[in-house]
Every structure is written in C-alpha cells, then in structure tokens.
C-alpha cells in the first residue's frame, strides 16, 4: 500500500516504558489470583458494555477493518471516500472547506487531497478571484470511481448492518448524528 516509512526506530534501549518487571509477590495484593479467570472462565464485560464510548470504538474498528476488503483493489480509505462524496456533491469547494466539513485540520486536508490528486481522482483548480486557494474538482476518473465505490461501500454497510432492520438502521444513523 501507499506511503514510505514515516517513523524512525526507537532508540535501542530508550523504549522501556514505565516500570516493567517490577512484579510484586501475590500476597502484597488484597485479592488472590483467580486461576479460573486467568484460564478460560467467561470474562465479565457487563460493566464495560454499558459504556457507549467503548461500543462506538469497537463498532468503528470493526467497520474500518472491513472497509479495505469491501472496496477491493482500489486502495481507497474511509477518509478518502468521504472526501470524494463531499467533492462530488460540492464541486469547487476549497481545501479548507472540505477539511472543515470532514472535521479534520486544514493541514491534514493537504495530504488527503494530495492522495486523491496523485491517484488522478481530483484536481486543484486555481481560483482566479482568490489566488491563495484552489477549487477542488473530481476528474472524470474520480467521478466514475466514486460511482463504483457508492455501490461497494453500500454493500459493505449492508453486510456490517445485516443484523439491523431498515428501521433500526435509520435509528442508528439518527442517534449517531445527535452525538456531533
């Protein structure tokens, strides 16, 4: 996939985060080690599952994890797909406006549009009336790919949401929108 190395090796021994291996004797802890728990007794996740934030994260990870497979060999990531959808519905939007809509920083928008442009899906068109900014447009290839993606992403969502009725799906969408 895309992109070269962006991170460096950590310094060889600097990486010992915190205080490791300082394990204490079991009897310095009030409770006793429960061997059944450590083995294969069902884990209690009741309290954890009451938190919406945790459920949100798990659902999002599951969704994103399957996204790459869903869009096949296109090498389009969720943020890129979202950008394509926004640009398609709002041809000529500036980069900053796109970033604002997507809820990311302007600086993050640069590499997002870079990627779309390098794939031949979008273009930066100079705006004559404001030489600081570019109008972002879909290319014909971008428009066509978006058409395919609308289908494959919709299928992906159908699969992810197969346990939900149509009404539940609408409800989920509506409730999520209330969170931001």
Partner DNA sequence: TATTGTTATACTCTATAACTATA
Partner DNA sequence: TATAGTTATAGAGTATAACAATA
User: 3-state DSSP call for residue 124?
Assistant: strand
8 Å CB contact between 93 and 124: no
Which of residues 54 and 141 has its CB atom nearest to DNA in the complex? 54
The number of residues that bind a second copy (CB under 8 A) is 101
The number of residues that bind DNA (CB under 7 A) is 42
CA distances in angstroms from 105 to 65, 92, 98, 111, 136, listed in the order given? 23, 19, 10, 11, 16
Residue of 74, 77, 97, 152 interacting with a second copy (CB under 8 A): 97
Residue of 4, 42, 53, 73 interacting with DNA (CB under 7 A): 4
What is the C-alpha separation between 115 and 159, in angstroms, rounded? 28
**Sign of dihedral through CA atoms 110, 115, 120, 121?**
negative
Which does residue 53 touch among DNA, a second copy, none (CB within 5 to 8 A, set by kind)?
a second copy
Residue of 52, 55, 56, 61 interacting with DNA (CB under 7 A): 61
What is the C-alpha separation between 78 and 66, in angstroms, rounded? 11
Which does residue 74 touch among DNA, a second copy, none (CB within 5 to 8 A, set by kind)?
none
User: 3-state DSSP call for residue 136?
Assistant: strand
Q: Is 1 in the site for a second copy (CB under 8 A)?
A: no
Residue of 68, 74, 77, 86 interacting with a second copy (CB under 8 A): 86
Q: Which of 101, 109, 113 is nearest to 137 (CA)?
A: 113
Which of residues 66 and 130 has its CB atom nearest to DNA in the complex? 130
Q: Is 47 in the site for a second copy (CB under 8 A)?
A: yes
Residue of 56, 57, 159, 168 interacting with DNA (CB under 7 A): 57
């Amino acid at each position: 996939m895309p992109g070269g190395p962006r991170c460096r090796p950590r310094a060889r021994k600097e990486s010992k985060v915190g205080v490791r291996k300082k394990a204490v004797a079991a009897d310095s802890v009030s409770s006793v080690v429960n061997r059944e728990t450590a083995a294969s007794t069902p884990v209690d996740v009741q309290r954890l599952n009451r938190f919406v934030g945790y459920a949100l994260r798990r659902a999002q990870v599951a969704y994103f994890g399957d996204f790459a497979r869903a869009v096949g060999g296109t090498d389009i990531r969720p943020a890129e797909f979202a950008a394509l959808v926004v640009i398609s519905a709002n041809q000529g939007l500036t980069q900053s406006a796109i970033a604002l809509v997507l809820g990311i920083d302007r600086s993050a928008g640069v590499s997002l549009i870079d990627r779309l442009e390098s794939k031949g899906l979008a273009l930066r068109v100079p705006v004559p009336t404001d030489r600081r900014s570019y109008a972002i447009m879909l290319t014909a290839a971008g428009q066509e790919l978006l058409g395919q993606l609308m289908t494959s992403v919709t299928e992906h969502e159908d699969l992810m949401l197969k346990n939900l009725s149509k009404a539940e799906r609408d409800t989920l969408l509506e409730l999520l929108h209330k969170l931001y």
